[in-house]
Structure 1
């Protein structure tokens, strides 16, 4: 979809928008001091690099030039942050901003400002187009991307060499052949397949894309039980899991555990995102990454994941929120956040800066995939329920008694009913 604002580049329009944002009324009166409340997720893996430190540093820098706007940030773990925001909204105490995993339900209920009500035109136009589109609900952008990643196939170079594998796999046939060689060499998990409840929806989509399918069709309708998807999981059940090439029950293996096993040198191959590089390097694992293999060669695309910033209308601080978010999304700050947490920039300017900087070279291959990546259908209010169902059911599909066609059809029917109820 062509972004409606990409053609709006005139300085006069940008100036007009900026003037509108700085002069519009707020809930506290034009000249009064305002405290904006932000609830955010923690991307750190320890207190030393908690996102709280990032936000505190960013807030202090903003407040120096905007003394009448104070920023109060509360950071929560990913296991708690979505529920925290949900509880605040239900209690009538919505924060001014929330940086979480989903936005569509709040947008559908009319609780959010749209991006063009908040951001200057240059800021909104700077979002990577694929991410901006993924943030739309009914063709209006409410979700502002904040932190992104793509997936690649990771492989252990030492284990490959010991098994006599000279080149990383490019097709599923290669994956099965190489996994067989790794198994013969005694590798505990030749291919780690995490279909446990932690992040099943991600691993599921990766394999769907490799098989030429996906969660939705070309017009955005759910296509979970498509012939391509059924064939994908029949192949996994028969050719990978059925032949003992995963080394662990996929239904019981979570992503976190699979990553830890790779860092311990017990995994030959798995699908991973950029943060796995840091884990592997910390344990001295010599790894490589390649584009996702597919049924007949390289996969048609990879999965992209974005987290979302959204702004609630309840407190009426439209102008002040817009001013803060313009600051949050400037090139320097986006690049700083992405580099700190091993994520991909969500703006074109910061992406270009990262690609031009050799110190981020290990992220370049992930970043180059972002523009063509496929995202979860997060613009659907039905997606949280569908995602929850995928987590509960997809692990069994590849087991010895797995029924890919039956399970995928059941999930399709649930998704269709949920979609219809939302209309």
Structure 2
């Protein structure tokens, strides 16, 4: 997601400069030094050290996670003599946007990959290509789909710190009680298993939700892509929300909801809150869940819940094993605003944070999957719940990013709005994808 201006030297060159400045009077063994060389002139010794320039960093994390960010800021500040990063937790994306628009925003900030194009199109983001080129910054091991999420019209505007996508979590006890041995591998198996796993009360309300209907936000585009759908044509010239994968995802959810009642499922979902004591998967009331790499760590290490679950890829379309392992990839990204006051300092901090060593530190604290695949075997991730499963799944060529273009936010909203109408019984699946196509016409220019 983000931004550009005039460039100074590379981070490495700047650091080397500071080392030279501090250690320039050292001599090799055996080399004689004149009195004038061994003792600085009075005017030089009295000269104050160069003051660090400030880099303002606004970040979306708060609470414990904000503390992790501040720890890394302190490490960067202690690692060099040129910049002083000052962090500020601003967990409201709109406040960050307003700050940047007014010219009183940060030098560097974070956001989500699905905002990159719209921000770049508005001129909010500094292109990073010159910084990357001048510093010869190695990005060969970044997950390709994650890097694409930071691009717009061929330029790199943001760099990803992690990779987010969903896998299927399933409650082993509920599966065993229902006589189901293996997790579903296809859309047909998912519906069949979900029906067996669902338990209803005498008044038809839901006791145990068999389907990954909660939270709805993790179903829509993820399941569409898992079923082989793509929201843009291969040549990048046509939006394709009416793809077969989206139609199949809609029909699947409608079939389940129609069987057990839209209102009953809505009532079940409204009584639940994500990742707390009322979360249905955590309290054994949901059999199948779609969720990301943070889920297991939150359950086991933050909420301290002893939950016996398995993990599997999202189900694919029946009869198409070549499409297995699909889903949607997104990232948390960092960018430099186009009107930042200290762009060189912002790049110095960003490039430091995105290095292999510090990407490991960041993601091991957050229990996320790094955007660099070369660090997946680092011992720091050994004890993170489910890390190996997500690291292996990240290798799938069938993972896709949502299309990046200046109208992607509007496109995403059109898809979400029509999807919600369909699964709430307000329109057919066929009408939903038809309306998606009609309402997104003209967004891709």
- TM-score of the superposition, structure 2-length normalised? 0.77
Q: Say which SS state the counterpart of residue 235 (structure 1) adopts.
A: helix
In the alignment, is residue 326 of structure 1 matched against residue 351 of structure 2?
yes
2:265 to 235, 246, 249: 249
Deviation at 1:262, TM superposition (A): 0.4
Aligned to 2:94: 83
The change in CA–CA distance for 1:361 and 1:194 in structure 2 (over 3 A counts) is closer
* 1-structure distance, mates of 2:270, 2:131: 38
Q: Matches of 2:260 and 2:119 in 1, distance apart?
A: 44
SS at match of 1:92: coil
CA shift for structure 1 position 37: 1.0
- Equivalent pairs counted in the alignment come to 384
Change (3 A) 1:315 1:237: closer
Check the 8 A contact 2:223/2:327 in 1, yes or no.
no
Residue of structure 1 in register with 2:240 after alignment = 223
1:230 Cα shift? 2.2
Please name the residue that 2:374 is paired with.
349
Q: What's 1:41 paired with?
A: 60
CA root-mean-square deviation: 3.0
Q: Deviations over 1:367-396 (max 9, x none)?
A: 22224321222x212111222333333222
* 2:169 counterpart residue number: 154
Greater fraction helix: 1
2:136 corresponds to which residue?
121
State how far apart, in whole Å, the 1-side matches of 2:129 and 2:268 are: 44
User: Which sections of structure 1, spanning at least 5 residues, go unmatched?
Assistant: 1-14, 24-30
1-structure distance, mates of 2:98, 2:385: 41
Cα-to-partner distance string for 1:44-78 (whole Å, 9 max, x where unaligned): 6xx3x232x1222112211123233111111233x
Q: Helix, strand or coil for the counterpart of 1:209?
A: helix
Q: Distance in 2 between matches of 1:251 and 1:217?
A: 38
**Equivalent position of 2:108 in the other structure:** 97
Alignment correspondent of 1:294 = 316
Given that 2:65 and 2:366 are in contact with CA atoms closer than 8 Å, whether structure 1 keeps it comes out as: no
Aligned to 2:250: 233
- Aligned to 2:104, what secondary structure does the other structure show? coil
Distance 2:225 2:272 in 1: 22
- TM-score normalised by L of structure 1: 0.81
**1:285 paired to 2:307:** yes
What's 1:6 paired with?
none
Structure 1 residue 316 displacement after superposition: 4.4
Provide closer, same or farther for how the CA distance between residues 178 and 41 of structure 1 changes in structure 2, counting only shifts above 3 A: same
User: SS of the residue aligned with 1:223?
Assistant: coil
2:81 to 46, 64, 67: 67
| Distance in 2, Cα, partners of 1:266 & 1:358 | 30
SS in structure 2 opposite 1:294?
coil
2:306 counterpart SS class:
coil
* Aligned-partner Cα distance in 2 for 1:334–1:122: 14
* Mapped contact 1:195–1:391 kept (Cα < 8 A): no
Verify the 8 A CA contact 2:57 2:106 in the aligned structure 1: yes
What SS is found at the alignment partner of 1:67?
coil
